[in-house]
Amino acid sequence: MAADFQTPEFREYPAVPNKLVPDATAHLSPFVAKPDHNEKLGFPGELVDNWHDKAIEKMGDLLGKYRGLQVFLDACVKCGSCTDKCHYFQGTSDPKNMPVARQDLLRSVYRRHFTFAGKYFPKLVGARELDREVLDEWYSYFHQCSQCRRCSVFCPYGIDTAEISMAAREILDTVGYGQKYCNEILGKVQTVGNNLGLPGPALKATMAEFEEEMEDDTGLPIKLPIDVQGADVLLITPSADFFAEPHIDGLMGYAKVFHEAGINWTLSSYAAEAANFSMFIGSYSNMKTVAERIRTAALDLGVKRIMVGECGHAWRVAYSFWNTVAGVGSGAAEDDEYGQKLQKQLDHRYPIPQHICEFTHGLLQEGKLRLDPAANDHRTVTFHDSCNVARASRMGDKPGGQFDIPRALLKAACNNYVDMDPDTIREVTYCCGGGGGLLTDDLMEIRVKGALPRMEALKDVMQNQGVTNMAAICAICKAQFAKVMPYFDIPMDTILSTHQIVGDALVLTGSTQETALDGGDDSSEKTEEAAEATE
Amino acid sequence: MATMDVAGNSVEVDEEGYLTNINDWDKDVAIELAKSENLEMTESHWEVIEFLREYYQEYQIAPAVRVLTKAIGKKLGPEKGNSKYLYELFPYGPAKQACKIAGLPKPTGCI
**Domain CATH code at residue A463:** 3.40.50
Residue B54: predicted pLDDT? 94
**pTM value?**
0.95
The pLDDT, as a whole number, for residue A359 is 98
Please compute the mean of the pLDDT values over residues A393-398 and round it to a whole number: 95
Sign of CA dihedral A455, A461, A463, A467: negative
Share of chain B above pLDDT 70, in %: 100
Are A216 and A234 members of one domain? yes
Mutate to test the interface with B, among A34, A245, A317 (most CBs of B within 10 A): A245
- Mean pLDDT for B20-36 is 94
Q: What is the pLDDT of residues A163-191, one digit of tens each?
A: 999 999 999 999 999 999 999 999 999 99
Same domain? A160 vs A127? yes
A110 and A198: one domain? no
Q: Between these two residues, A2 and A92, which has the higher pLDDT value? A: A92
Is A261 in the same domain as A159? no
Are A435 and A490 found together in one domain? yes
- pLDDT score at A521: 55
Coil, helix or strand for B82?
Answer: coil
Do A281 and A182 meet the contact criterion of CB atoms below 8 Å apart? Answer: yes
Query: Both A339 and A380 in a single domain?
Result: no
Is A163 among the domain residues? Answer: yes
d(CA A430, CA A85): 9
Q: Is residue A214 part of a domain?
A: yes
For B:48-67, CB contacts with A below 8 A are 59-61, 63-67
Q: What is the mean pLDDT of residues A203-231?
A: 97
| Backbone phi and psi for residue B52, each to the nearest 5 degrees, phi listed first | -60, -40
Give the mean model confidence (pLDDT) for residues A78-106. Answer: 97
What does DSSP assign to residue A395? -
From A313-317, A326-330, A465-469, the region with the lowest mean pLDDT: A326-330
Indicate the pairing of strand B2-6 with strand A495-497.
unpaired
Task: Quote the mean pLDDT of chain B.
Answer: 91
The phi-psi region of residue A489 (left if phi > 0; otherwise alpha if psi is between -120 and 50; otherwise beta) is left
CA distance B55 to chain A (A): 9
> Which tens digits make up the pLDDT trace of A41-58?
999 999 999 999 999 999
Using one digit for the tens of pLDDT, what is the confidence trace for A456-508?
999 999 999 999 999 999 999 999 999 999 999 999 999 999 999 999 999 99
Domain with A254 in it: 193-357
Q: Which residues of A touch B84 (CB under 8 A)?
A: none
Q: What is the pLDDT of residue B95?
A: 82
| Same domain, yes or no: A336 and A391 | no
Q: What is the pLDDT of residue A4?
A: 85
Q: Rounded mean pLDDT of A324-343?
A: 93
Q: Give the pLDDT mean for A283-298.
A: 97
> Would you state the pLDDT for residue A315?
98
The whole-number pLDDT of residue A3 equals: 57
Packing angle of the helix pair A99-114, A67-75 (nearest 10 deg): 110
Give the list of residues 6+ apart from residue A41 with CB closer than 8 angstroms, or none.
A173, A178, A183, A186, A187, A190, A283, A286
The answer, yes or no, to whether residue B38 has pLDDT greater than 90, is yes
Domains and CATH numbers, chain B: 2-101 (1.10.10.370)
Q: Is the pLDDT of residue A534 over 50?
A: no
Q: Which of A178, A205, A233 is the last residue of a domain?
A: A178
Say if residue A172 is in the same domain as residue A112. yes
Q: What is the pLDDT of residue A145?
A: 98
Q: Write down the pLDDT at residue B93.
A: 85
- For strands A495-497 and A469-472, give the pairing: parallel
B65, A1: Cβ pair inside 8 Å? no
Does A421 share its domain with A469? yes
Q: What angle do CA A48, A188, A284 make, to 5 degrees?
A: 60
**Pairing relationship of beta strands B2-6 and B9-13 according to DSSP bridges:** antiparallel
Q: Which of A350, A352, A234 is nearest to A302 (CA)?
A: A234
Q: B111 and A198 in contact by Cβ < 8 A?
A: no
From chain A, which residues contact B within 8 Å (Cβ)? 1-2, 31, 181, 184-185, 188, 194-199, 201-202, 205-206, 209-210, 213, 238-240, 242-245, 247-248, 275, 311, 439, 441-442, 475-476, 478-479, 483
Task: Give this complex's ipTM.
Answer: 0.94
In a domain, A197, yes or no: yes
Is residue A206 in some structural domain? yes
Last residue of a domain, one of A323, A357, A391: A357
State whether A265 and A294 are in the same domain. yes
CA distance A151 to A147: 10
Residue A244: left (phi > 0), alpha (psi -120 to 50), or beta?
beta
Using CA atoms, how far residue A107 sits from A54, A111, B91, B110, in Å, is 17, 6, 43, 31
- Domain assignment present for residue A97? The answer is yes
Identity of the residue in A195, A201, A311 whose CB atom sits nearest the CB atom of B108: A195
State which amino acid sits at residue B75.
K
Between CA A86 and CA A94, with CA A88 as vertex, the angle to 5 degrees is 105
Residues A271 and A322 in one domain: yes
The count of other CB atoms within 10 Å of the CB of residue B92 is 17
Given this model, what pLDDT does residue A488 score? 98
Q: Does A8 fall in a domain?
A: no
Residue A522, pLDDT above cutoff 80: no
Q: So what's the pLDDT on residue B65?
A: 87
What pLDDT is attached to residue A520? Answer: 65
Q: Given an 8 Å threshold on Cβ–Cβ distance, is A245 in contact with B83?
A: yes
Rounded to an integer, what distance in angstroms lies between the CA atom of residue B41 and that of residue B34?
7
Q: Is residue A1 scored above 50 in pLDDT?
A: no
Catalytically active residues of B, by annotation:
110
Per the structure, how many domains does chain A have? 3
pLDDT greater than 90 at residue B34: yes
- CA dist A271 and A359 (Å) reads 21
> Of A458, A315, A324, whose CA–CA distance to A391 is shortest?
A315
Question: Which of A332, A357, A382 is the last residue in one of the domains?
Answer: A357
Distance CA A98, CA A83 (A): 5
What pLDDT is recorded for position B94?
84
- Asked whether residue A427 carries a pLDDT value surpassing 50, the answer given is yes
Q: Would residue A524 count as lying in a domain?
A: no
Look over chain A and give the mean of its residue pLDDT values, rounded to a whole number: 95
Assess contact for A280 and A169: CB atoms under 8 A: yes
Rg for chain B, CA atoms, rounded? 13
Instruction: Verify that A324 and A400 share a domain, yes or no.
Output: no
A515 part of a folded domain: no
8 Å CB contact between A227 and A476 = no
pLDDT at A388: 97
Asked if A210 lies within 8 A of B66 by C-beta distance, the reply is yes
Q: From residue B54, give the alpha-carbon distance in Å to each of A213, A348, B31, B96.
A: 22, 47, 18, 16
Three-state DSSP at A38 gives helix
